[in-house]
Chains A and B, each alone.
Chain A
């Protein structure tokens, strides 16, 4: 969104001038502001997630900017001279409508039409490709909006009940447990329906995650918990729609998407109702008469530009490196074994078409693997190899800037956590031990851990 290039010079000079000393027993960065390697920007404002990697060549930058414009573009109902192809069913009329500021969505407030939030649907079983079974008449995702003259599939309503808890030091807390309802469906919803509500995740730094060599991710996996630490970590293997092959899943909240190209064209199709050569059928085809077959609504070059945009969005620098509280929190993060899944450091290999991003040391705080997070967070909806209680470790980089970019601090897959503290307290399953260790911390130590997260 912002085209300022001044960060380029900062990142260049910094990358050579202050390589971080590492090598303590804690896996992870120490005093390294460059969370995205050379693809790091120094901006702690509402624009923090929206900058191109500072080292892009001018050709790459032009490609990124074209993708930026496409990411912002609002689609309208065809026929139209500008941006035709919206719907008939959709969740949002633009990419940026959900990923505002390239950041995080939140659950709708009562009476609000959801933006940046959607619900995945399926029936029990798996498709020949190994994925979730679409729901007849609804597909794999609920579209709660439609063009005029077409009924939306249903309205979303989310209510909450409080669940009380207490820290070991006696301080009480309350978590809110969401309850999802699909109201006014345009047709009958089948029995056995599986649902999974999702808040839109941030979209920066994804090219770096795409470029982490598969072997590095698999080395972190411990499917049968050989080391006996209670934490397994499993790769998801998913269907690559372009090659028709099974590939390692990296993106999506259950790692059900192998690469950013697929992420982009599936989102165009499912979220905006825009067809492409990759997915030429409307998301409602065969369901409603308005879903007629027609030539693709968007050129491949635009899909490629948006993919490139996602691939080249930079990561905001870590802040407060000289803050002793945050540094203490960083040590606690390792001591509590949060870092066992939220891996502080990964490395990129070659980045396809973007040599500028290749061979970087990055600090995303994820292992890109699936972990069982316990029954409280379970959606009960399997997705390729991910079970109904497994989720991919989400990256934590930039998480401290959520309020600045998105004006809220709701976290987890469905935004149920209203703060970072609540997000930690929801951890269970493989993270039970870490959560209990957090619950046993003193108030000062809890604050230090949060101060660390807010510095990311």
Chain B
């Protein structure tokens, strides 16, 4: 069971006798890597999410003021646009997004249809304050998805009731508020979580060692790989039950999955929005250039394989199952490398 790399790691554990010589990531400045990932990639993506959630809120305002099919289509497009950075940010589900309750507020699934219908059937005003106090399953991306796409994905502007528009306006406002607050948790001018990660082992109350922070990056990538392969894909695939498909109202699941893996890859490569900030790759490439090439290629393969599930994820689950299995396997390959080759390299004091 033990590989050579793992033996090396064990020997480097504190309190376990004589440490043996290991090749360490010390050749690169890991503090700089962490700081660049935090500021360049993570904060960058949260800023993008904030901006796009605000743009979606604006599009919903236009739809509510003038409920035409064109304005509905614009709101739907703005929802997809805002969802992309969110799904990418699922490549690093740690820190405030988890501890501050942002994930359930933005993206609880399944959507609570019965509660939403009860709310819509009532007569109490639906304000952003009311929505803020609702359970996650009645707000966020999937509640909005239900209102603007409809259960069958065939929503027309004429179908939108005044009550639905009132709900939608409050939902969009709440989404924008949550996205903004999440960004501010990371902003140096706000909660400054960039420094908790970037100053790991130096001046962080959260990560007492740089190793812990580097491991957090890998855990984030591993976590989304597991969720995509073993949850989001596996559950509808194994049961052939499309009610288990997450973004089925909008038929956006395949794009979600591609963005999930893209976000993880961004943490690794450090390439975001046309800039290279230096990701975890900067630590690995000096130790194992072959491993760096392998993982980059596996990310590319996984993202490509997810994109080849056609004509849609839902249809592929029913009619093109080999494309789904292939994509699932490709995501597993990334996870295997992260778990069995990348983590052991980092796991040293």
**Contact residues of A with B, CB < 8 Å?**
1-6, 8-10, 12-14, 17-18, 20, 31-33, 42-47, 65, 69, 74, 76-83, 86, 93, 97, 100-101, 113, 115, 145, 147-149, 319-322, 400, 403-408, 454
- With a cutoff of 8 Å between Cβ atoms, the chain A residues found around residue B208 in the complex are 44, 319-320, 400, 454
Once the chains bind, are B99 and A148 in contact (CB under 8 Å)? no
- With a cutoff of 8 Å between Cβ atoms, the chain B residues found around residue A2 in the complex are 219, 222-223, 226
Once the chains bind, are B223 and A10 in contact (CB under 8 Å)? no
The B1-52 residues at the A interface (CB cut-off 8 A) are 1-3, 6-7, 9-10, 13-17
11 examples of A-B residue contacts, CB within 8 angstroms: A1-B223, A3-B226, A8-B1, A17-B17, A65-B230, A74-B108, A74-B137, A80-B110, A100-B101, A148-B122, A319-B209
Contact of A45 (CB < 8 Å), options: B13, B111, B113, B216: B216
Contact A44-B112, Cβ < 8 Å, known A4-B339, A13-B6, A17-B10: no
Interface of B is mostly: helix
B240 to chain A, nearest CB (A): 14
- With a cutoff of 8 Å between Cβ atoms, the chain B residues found around residue A76 in the complex are 110-115, 137
Q: A14–B122 Cα gap in the complex (Å)?
A: 61
The yes or no answer to B231 lying at the interface (CB within 8 A) is yes
Once the chains bind, are A5 and B339 in contact (CB under 8 Å)? yes
Once the chains bind, are A149 and B95 in contact (CB under 8 Å)? no
Once the chains bind, are B230 and A3 in contact (CB under 8 Å)? yes
- With a cutoff of 8 Å between Cβ atoms, the chain B residues found around residue A86 in the complex are 112, 135, 137
The yes or no answer to B82 lying at the interface (CB within 8 A) is no
- With a cutoff of 8 Å between Cβ atoms, the chain B residues found around residue A77 in the complex are 112-115, 118
Contact A408-B99, Cβ < 8 Å, known A6-B339, A69-B231, A80-B113: yes
The yes or no answer to B119 lying at the interface (CB within 8 A) is yes
Contact of A44 (CB < 8 Å), options: B94, B209, B338: B209
- With a cutoff of 8 Å between Cβ atoms, the chain A residues found around residue B116 in the complex are 148
Q: Considering only CB atoms, which chain B residue lies closest to A96 in the complex?
A: B104
The yes or no answer to B244 lying at the interface (CB within 8 A) is yes
Once the chains bind, are A74 and B110 in contact (CB under 8 Å)? yes
Q: A247–B99 Cα gap in the complex (Å)?
A: 36
Contact A14-B13, Cβ < 8 Å, known A2-B222, A148-B122: yes
Q: A31–B17 Cα gap in the complex (Å)?
A: 11
B229 to chain A, nearest CB (A): 9
Contact A79-B10, Cβ < 8 Å, known A32-B15, A45-B94, A45-B212: no
Interface of A is mostly: loop
Contact A322-B14, Cβ < 8 Å, known A4-B222, A44-B209: yes
Once the chains bind, are B9 and A10 in contact (CB under 8 Å)? yes
- With a cutoff of 8 Å between Cβ atoms, the chain A residues found around residue B109 in the complex are 74
Q: A4-B338, A9-B10 are in contact. List 4 more A-B contacts (CB 8 A).
A: A4-B339, A44-B208, A148-B114, A403-B205
B118 to chain A, nearest CB (A): 4
Once the chains bind, are A44 and B207 in contact (CB under 8 Å)? yes
Q: A27–B9 Cα gap in the complex (Å)?
A: 30
Contact A6-B223, Cβ < 8 Å, known A45-B207, A86-B112: no
A318 to chain B, nearest CB (A): 9
Once the chains bind, are B135 and A93 in contact (CB under 8 Å)? yes
Once the chains bind, are A407 and B207 in contact (CB under 8 Å)? no
Q: A406–B96 Cα gap in the complex (Å)?
A: 9
Q: Considering only CB atoms, which chain A residue lies closest to B116 in the complex?
A: A148
Q: A69–B207 Cα gap in the complex (Å)?
A: 27
Q: A32–B14 Cα gap in the complex (Å)?
A: 9
Q: A319–B340 Cα gap in the complex (Å)?
A: 22
The yes or no answer to B136 lying at the interface (CB within 8 A) is yes
- With a cutoff of 8 Å between Cβ atoms, the chain A residues found around residue B133 in the complex are 113
Contact A4-B206, Cβ < 8 Å, known A74-B109, A74-B136, A76-B112: no
- With a cutoff of 8 Å between Cβ atoms, the chain A residues found around residue B136 in the complex are 74, 93, 97
Contact of B13 (CB < 8 Å), options: A12, A33, A81, A406: A33
Once the chains bind, are B339 and A46 in contact (CB under 8 Å)? no
B345 to chain A, nearest CB (A): 11
B117 to chain A, nearest CB (A): 8
B98 to chain A, nearest CB (A): 6
B42 to chain A, nearest CB (A): 14
- With a cutoff of 8 Å between Cβ atoms, the chain A residues found around residue B113 in the complex are 76-77, 80
Contact A100-B99, Cβ < 8 Å, known A6-B344, A147-B118: yes
- With a cutoff of 8 Å between Cβ atoms, the chain A residues found around residue B288 in the complex are none
Once the chains bind, are A12 and B1 in contact (CB under 8 Å)? yes
- With a cutoff of 8 Å between Cβ atoms, the chain A residues found around residue B347 in the complex are 10, 42
Once the chains bind, are A145 and B135 in contact (CB under 8 Å)? yes
Q: A114–B75 Cα gap in the complex (Å)?
A: 33
Once the chains bind, are A47 and B223 in contact (CB under 8 Å)? yes
Q: Considering only CB atoms, which chain B residue lies closest to A82 in the complex?
A: B110
B133 to chain A, nearest CB (A): 6
- With a cutoff of 8 Å between Cβ atoms, the chain B residues found around residue A404 in the complex are 206-207, 212
- With a cutoff of 8 Å between Cβ atoms, the chain B residues found around residue A44 in the complex are 207-209, 211-212, 215
- With a cutoff of 8 Å between Cβ atoms, the chain B residues found around residue A17 in the complex are 10, 16-17
- With a cutoff of 8 Å between Cβ atoms, the chain B residues found around residue A82 in the complex are 110, 243-244
B92 to chain A, nearest CB (A): 10
B99, B113, B213 — most chain A CB neighbours (10 Å)? B99
